[in-house]
Chain A
C-alpha cells in the first residue's frame, strides 16, 4: 500500500487537531488521523485511551470542542449520526443497538430512512448477507440469535447504506476464534472492493493480521502511527501502555488427585428467568483446593445465570446442586454461602459488584457486613466507620488502587481501579472458594496483570478459584483447566497442557464435546 504522504486526494477521511473535553478530562487531545481509500486502519489503545470518544465524534454522536474533519478533502461538520450516514460513514457498535423483541429485518428497517416495505428489506438483507458469507435469517427474532449473529445484523445494516467508511468498535470481543476468522474474510473482501475500514481494537494479534496501518492512542493523545505488520505484539503493547506489561507468573498446579474438593456443582439446571435469559442444563463441575478452573464461552450462553446460581443470588431446589466445602448450599442465600467461605465477584462492576454513588468503604461493607460483622459492626448494627476506613485503605494499598480522594464514590474510579478494589475486597477475606465473572473486562493491561496474578496466588495458597471469562488469552494465562459453556451446557474441563485455542474455539462454537474432548478423568 502506498500510504502516508500520498496526497490529500487519496485520503477518504482526515482529522486534524480533534479535541474533546469532559469536565477536567481531555478525552481526545489534538488527535490527527488519516484514512486512505481501500485500507483497513487500526485504532489501537487501552480502555479509556479515547478511542470511543474519537469515533463518536466521527459518527456525529459527539461534537468536538476543537479541530476539523475533512471528508474527501472537504471540511465537514458532522452533527448527527444521520449526517454521518448521508456522507457515507457506517458504524458497527460494540454494544449492539438492537431490539431483542423484533426480527432482524425489522431492526434493519428502523435505521433506514423512508418507507421501504419490510419484505423488500428482508430480501435485500438476505442477498447481501449471502454475497458476503454472513448467513442471516432476516425473520429471526433478535432475542433468539447468538451474539455473533446479532453482530451480522449490525454489519448488514451498516452495509445496506453503502458506506465508504465502515467503523467497527471491538468487533471480535464477543466472537469465537472461528467466527472472528470469518469476519476477517468479510472485512478483507470489503477492502478489496475499495471500502475503507476503521478497526478499533486492543487485541494486537488480530490487528497485526488484518490491518494495513495503525494509529495508537494513549491518554487521549496520538502516540504513534505504524505499520502493524512490521511491529511485534510486544512493541505495539509498549506503544499502547507506555511501558512493558508485567507477565503473569503461573507455576503448574500440584496434581488435583488428592486435593480436597472445595466447590462442587452437581446436575445444576435452571429455567430461564426472563424471555431473553439462558437455560442451564445439567451442569456438573468440581473445583479443588489449589487450582484455577476457567470457564470459556461466547457471551450469553448461560455464564451470567450460572454465576447467579453459584453465588446464591438465585437459589436451587436441590440442596446438593451446589456444595461449598462439603456443605449443601443449594438452598442457602448468598450471605450464607459467604459464611461457608465463598467469595463472589460479578461481571458488572457498577450497580452489581458495587453501588456507584457509595464510598469505597461503604462498598467494602456491601459484601462483608455479615462475614466480618464482629469487626465492622457494633451493637444494634452501628457501623464502625473508623475500622471500615482502615480496612478499605489496606485493600487500596494491597491492590494498588489509584483514586483521587481519600474515600471516593465508586463511580469516581476508573473501571480498572474499581475492579482491583472489588477483587481486593474479596481477597482480603482469604476466601476458600472464589468465583469471578469476567475479572478483567474493560480493565487496562497493567491492572489486568495484577488481578490475574492475585487470583493465581490465591489458588496456590490453597483456595479453589473459578473464573468465567470471554477472554481466551486470559483463561490460558490463568487456568489449570478450561471448561466451555455453550447453550447452557458445560463441557468437561480440559487440562491446560492439552487445551489449544482451536479446541476451545470449536467447543465455544457448539461442537459436541464428545468428539473433541475425550479427556474425562480431569475432574
Chain B
C-alpha cells in the first residue's frame, strides 16, 4: 500500500479549522509515548501537564501571565509572517523593550507619579520597534536575509541586558546580586482583579492588540496590503505597494508589540530587571503565531495553549519529576504537527492498495 497526496481544487474550509485540533491530538499521543519511554505513567503525566493547571483560579491567573507575552508577540509576528518578513528576533526586541521601558524606574527612581507607567509602556514599544528597525533597514537597503540578522540580534540584546544588570544598573542596595532595584509602585502594572490572583493589565493589552490587528488585517486596506505583499510581491508592486515600506511596517509593528510584551513582563510579573527575563517567549511566540493560523484571534487561543505547556511543565517537574526540557520538546512537537497537518488544507490523502487484501484493510481502518 502507498499513500498519495492529491491536491484539492480549493483550500478546504473544514481542515483550515480542524487541522490545529488534529495537531494537538497528535501532540498528546506523541507526548504520551514520550512519557512512556521515560518510564512515567503517561496518563498521570498528561494530567499534570494539561489538566492540573486549569483547576484553580490562581493558576488560571498564572496562565494569563504566561499567555500575555506570547499573545502580544505572536500577533505582531502574524503581520510579519503574513507579509513574508521573517522576524525571528522577537526575543531580542522583547528584551530591548524591557530595558528601554525600565529606564525611568531604574535611572530616575525619584520620578514617581501616574505618568510613569504610560511613559514606560510607550518607551518599551519604541525600544522594541527601534531594535526591529535594524534588520528591517538591512533588508530594505541591502537585501540582507532578515532571518539571520534578527536572530543574531537576539544574542546581542540578551548579553547587553546581562551586562546592564551586572554593571551600571545593578541595585546599589542589592548585595551584589545581578539585578536592578525593584520598581516603585507607580512603575508596576496593576493587577486586573487583585482579589483572585496576579494577572496584570498586560493581558488586557494583549487582547486589545489582538482585536485591533485582527480588524486591521481582515477589514482594512493596510491589512490587504500586508496579505498581497506576502502572497505575491509582484502583484503587490503592480498594485503600487512598496515592498521596502512593508518591510518597515511589519518589523516596526511586531517590534513595538514585542517591546510592549517585554516591558509588561518586567513591570507586571517580575518587578525588576534580571539577567534572564524570558523563558524564550520570543521563540515560543513563533509557534503560537503558526498554531493560531497567523490570525490574531486564533493566536489568543494558541497563546493560552502554549502558556499551558509552560505551567504544566513546572507542575510536572514538581509532581512527577521530569526535566523542564520536556516543555521545549512539547512545544517543538506542537509546531511540527501543526505544520504537518496544514498539508491537509491543500491536499487530500489517498490510500492506494497494491493488493486487494491490503486495500480492504486500509479501508477498514479509515471507514
B360 within 8 A of A: no
Q: Which of A439-478 contact B (CB under 8 A)?
A: none
A185 within 8 A of B: no
Docked-complex contact B231 and A313, CB < 8 angstroms:
no
List, in ascending order, chain A residues with CB within 8 A of B7's CB.
22-23
Instruction: Tell me which of A311, A338, A346, A383 has the highest count of chain B C-beta atoms within 10 A of its own C-beta.
Output: A383
B113 within 8 A of A: no
B219 within 8 A of A: yes
Docked-complex contact A351 and B10, CB < 8 angstroms:
no
Give the CA-CA distance A370 to B227 in the complex, in Å. Answer: 17
Q: Which of A294-353 contact B (CB under 8 A)?
A: 311, 313, 333-335, 338, 344, 346, 348, 350-353
Report the nearest B residue to A21, measured CB to CB. Answer: B6
Give the CA-CA distance A357 to B232 in the complex, in Å. Answer: 9
A382 within 8 A of B: yes
Give the CA-CA distance A22 to B222 in the complex, in Å. Answer: 37
Docked-complex contact A313 and B228, CB < 8 angstroms:
no
Bits for A411-432, please: 1 = Cβ < 8 Å to B, else 0.
Answer: 0100000000000000000000
Q: Classify the interface of chain A: helix, strand, loop or mixed.
A: mixed
Docked-complex contact B227 and A366, CB < 8 angstroms:
no
A108 within 8 A of B: no
Docked-complex contact A355 and B220, CB < 8 angstroms:
no
Q: Classify the interface of chain B: helix, strand, loop or mixed.
A: helix
B8 within 8 A of A: yes
Given that A313-B237, A352-B235, A412-B10 are known contacts, is A358 also in contact with B221, CB under 8 Å in the complex? no
Docked-complex contact A354 and B219, CB < 8 angstroms:
no
Given that A313-B238, A334-B238, A338-B240 are known contacts, is A383 also in contact with B224, CB under 8 Å in the complex? yes
Give the CA-CA distance A405 to B7 in the complex, in Å. Answer: 18
B25 within 8 A of A: no
Bits for A107-130, please: 1 = Cβ < 8 Å to B, else 0.
Answer: 000000000000000000000000
B328 within 8 A of A: no
Docked-complex contact A348 and B234, CB < 8 angstroms:
yes
Chain B interface size, under 10 / 10 to 19 / 20 to 34 / 35 or more? 20 to 34
Give the CA-CA distance A358 to B221 in the complex, in Å. Answer: 14
Give chain A nearest CB distance to B300 CB in angstroms: 22
B239 within 8 A of A: yes
B9 within 8 A of A: yes
Count the A residues whose beta carbon is within 8 Å of the partner chain — how many?
A: 37
Given that A24-B9, A355-B228, A358-B227 are known contacts, is A381 also in contact with B234, CB under 8 Å in the complex? no
Q: Which of A354, A380, A405 contacts B220 (CB 8 A)?
A: A380
A362 within 8 A of B: yes
List, in ascending order, chain B residues with CB within 8 A of A22's CB.
7
Give chain A nearest CB distance to B203 CB in angstroms: 26
List, in ascending order, chain B residues with CB within 8 A of A355's CB.
227-228, 231-232, 235-236
A291 within 8 A of B: no
Q: Which of A352-393 contact B (CB under 8 A)?
A: 352-358, 362, 365-367, 369-370, 377, 380-383
A408 within 8 A of B: yes
Given that A313-B238, A335-B240 are known contacts, is A369 also in contact with B220, CB under 8 Å in the complex? no
Docked-complex contact B221 and A351, CB < 8 angstroms:
no
Docked-complex contact A351 and B237, CB < 8 angstroms:
no
Give the CA-CA distance A276 to B237 in the complex, in Å. Answer: 20
Q: Which of B224-251 contact A (CB under 8 A)?
A: 224, 227-228, 231-232, 234-240
Beyond contacts A344-B238, A355-B231: 20 other A-B pairs, Cβ-Cβ < 8 A, are A313-B237, A335-B240, A348-B234, A350-B232, A352-B234, A352-B235, A355-B235, A355-B236, A356-B232, A358-B231, A366-B228, A366-B238, A367-B238, A370-B240, A381-B220, A381-B221, A381-B222, A383-B224, A409-B10, A412-B9
Interface residues of B (CB under 8 A from A): 6-11, 219-222, 224, 227-228, 231-232, 234-240
